[in-house]
Amino acid sequence: MNDFNEMIPLKYGCNPHQAHAAVEVPDGANSPLELLNGTPSLINVLDALNGWQLVKEARNAIGLPAAASFKHVSPAGAAVALPLNDELARAYEVLGIDLTPTATAYVRARGTDPKSSFGDFVALSETVDVPTARFLKGVISDGIIAPGFDPEALEILKSKKQGTFIVIKADDCFVPPKTERRETFGLALVQDRNDHIISAADLQDVVCGSLNPEAVRDLVLGLVVVKYTQSNSVCYVRAGQTIGIGAGQQSRVDCTKLAGAKADLWWLGMHPKVLGLHFRPHVKRQERINWRVRYIEGDLTRYETKALEDALEVHVEQLQLEERKSWLKKLEDVALISDGFIPFRDNIDHASQHGVRFIAEPGGSSRSGDVKMACEEYGITLVHSHLRLFHH
């Protein structure tokens, strides 16, 4: 057994009363992390390590800058750097802002589920430039991990949160050991690290339908995402970004429903009535985003109804059921990725209600014939990856 040396003392463990916590490195080993600012907690480091692996693998698999927004050891969103159309730029509150590819990737990742990304840990595959740092300065976030930082960008980030913003540099050349271990309840659990590198080669077994290059890109991104998401997990991907992630559920169909509900909320964020909300000048960017989410969700409390009216320059009626249904019917070309096999066709029935046209799952269910039949009924392309990606 290796002896370990303490490298980074942590603020605390999972909770403040778990006062002693540290990152330790085996004797003679190199560390993949360098703490440049702030004092992380144990969960911050777990988010950083999972987020860094995700964005590095996504960048290598797809060939574009990648970003992830992590909360509680699962991504709230992930994306690669594809251009934003006007509707997305307005929904993400970045219309007219000059964004670099790295900044764009993060804007997309955070835009998946802005409510969950509040206070996130950021992971970026590229050196952080000044425009990205300036954008990050204006959002509520706990920290960032990236392979490097431009000097001015680093100073901007160090000034965030009154100097407490966590900045971690990742070693892009670090190769982790073949096996990994964790200790719990006095026992050490050891396993081979999940070192399967996701690529388009995992999408060769097309059970029904066909794939286009955009679908391959989105399915590859989704496979990388669920590889680093707490299981069970299902994610929906569209146009190079996640639009809904269902993580850590005991039932797979609950993952599918949860991710689908988030995908609907994301799509409704581009509804003309939502983008047409006119806020008073004093309402800050994050407040505008939060209000749009609550407006879409529709279950405003009496207090929130009054507060929203005070935030708006012009009164608007709530989105009606028929308006929602009509808009959601326009959502299409969505990819669904599952970290474990789909056991029953109910997952497909629910997925079909959220614009899903492509599915990647390991295959192997005893009812795989029913799943295939359901995909054929809805015109959904089904791919068996033959790859289970449970992550705990």
Catalytic residue of the set 72, 158, 161, 273:
72
72 assigned to active site: yes
71 assigned to active site: yes
β-pairing, 141-146 vs 334-338, is: unpaired
Question: Which are the contacts of 42, defined by CB distance < 8 A and separation ≥ 6?
Answer: 10, 12, 13, 14, 18, 21
Task: Return the SS3 of 249.
Answer: coil
Q: Which two tokens stand for residue 375?
A: 């995909």
Catalytic residue of the set 56, 71, 227, 391:
71
Helix or strand (DSSP H, E) at 338: strand 334-338
Q: CA 248, CA 339: separation in Å to the nearest integer?
A: 11
Could you check whether the bond before residue 50 is cis, i.e. omega within 30 degrees of 0? no
227 assigned to active site: no
Catalytic residue of the set 17, 20, 282, 392:
392
Measured in degrees and rounded to the nearest 5, phi and psi for residue 63 equal 85, 20
Instruction: Let me know: does 190 contact 177? Beta carbons within 8 Å.
Output: no
Q: Which two tokens stand for residue 29?
A: 């080993």
Q: Where are the beta strands (DSSP E) in 272-333?
A: none
Measured in degrees and rounded to the nearest 5, phi and psi for residue 216 equal -60, -45
Q: Which two tokens stand for residue 99?
A: 């964004």
315 assigned to active site: no
Measured in degrees and rounded to the nearest 5, phi and psi for residue 246 equal -110, 110
β-pairing, 241-247 vs 233-238, is: antiparallel
CA angle 352, 354, 358 (to 5 degrees): 60
Measured in degrees and rounded to the nearest 5, phi and psi for residue 309 equal -60, -40
Catalytic residue of the set 44, 232, 350, 391:
232
**Residues designated as active site:** 71-72, 232, 392
